[in-house]
Amino acid sequence: MTIHIGAAPGDIAETVLMPGDPLRAEWAAKTFLDNAQCVNRVRGMLGFTGTWKGHPVTIHGSGMGMPSLSIYANELIRDYGVKTLIRIGSCGAMQEHVAIRDVILAMTASSLSTPSRGIFRELNFAPCANYGLLRAAADAAQARGVSVHVGGIYSSDVFYDERPDLNEMMIRHGILGVEMEAAELYNLAARYGVRALAVLTVSDHLLTHEALPSADRESSFGDMVEIALTAAFA
């Protein structure tokens, strides 16, 4: 048990999927895991542990933004011995060839700042995904016939962004999409020597202004969860 996670020792699997929304964690656990049991409810951040094809898996919410994810990822790694963390979440597309419902696998994650900035100081550390997970996820997506894109994303530290010039520069440099958590997840994975990947479903588009209706989001996110689970145990 930690300050933010009430799970008992042994209740958390070595493989953890991390959606931002705790209710999405509940949906994913009940939909994809066998014998899923709730192992955390502290501060309303739900976590569930069950099995997928016989493999122990925990699906635990991270909250929104890098500071929130940093709390849970730190405790999961340090106190519960988690070895693989895969973010499953939504993102906004930043390239014309990326469509709504497509899946983005974040090879790298650029950012203006992260909770780790104080450690790196003047160093512009380049956080990236675990290559084994990345390759396995790309193979899993192609096997499922999912439209998948592999490349760099941008982890923003604000949701209501008022920097159109920054977005234009990201687009110009080929950034595939924007979200709010992956850069810090990759920083922590590097620090602790564990595996991490962000598997993201495009829910809206910064160029076309399309958006996936809320009612369609859960059904559209199923491929993302299957890809993440397959990659974790490839």
Q: What is the distance of C-alpha 204 from the center of its chain?
A: 16
Is position 5 annotated in a ligand binding site? no
Is position 132 annotated in a ligand binding site? no
Q: What is the pLDDT of residue 219?
A: 65
Is 1 a member of any domain? Answer: no
Is 3 a member of any domain? Answer: no
State how many domains the chain has: 1
Is 10 a member of any domain? Answer: no
Q: What is the pLDDT of residue 163?
A: 87
pTM value is 0.96
- What element of type H or E holds 171? helix 164-172
The residue segments making up the domain with residue 63 are: 15-232
Is 8 a member of any domain? Answer: no
Is 214 a member of any domain? Answer: yes
pLDDT tens digit at each of 234 positions of the chain: 899 999 999 999 999 999 999 999 999 999 999 999 999 999 999 999 999 999 999 999 999 999 999 999 999 999 999 999 999 999 999 999 999 999 999 999 999 999 999 999 999 999 999 999 999 999 999 999 999 999 999 999 999 988 889 999 999 999 999 999 999 999 999 999 999 999 999 999 999 999 998 777 766 799 999 999 999 999
Residue 65 near residue 180 (C-beta atoms within 8 A): yes
Q: Give the whole-angstrom CA distance, residue 39 versus residue 125.
A: 34
Q: Give the whole-angstrom CA distance, residue 143 versus residue 145.
A: 5
CATH code where residue 89 lies: 3.40.50.1580
Catalytic residues: 204
Is 6 a member of any domain? Answer: no
Is position 204 annotated in a ligand binding site? yes
Is position 88 annotated in a ligand binding site? yes
Is 4 a member of any domain? Answer: no
Residue 18 near residue 224 (C-beta atoms within 8 A): no
Is 123 a member of any domain? Answer: yes
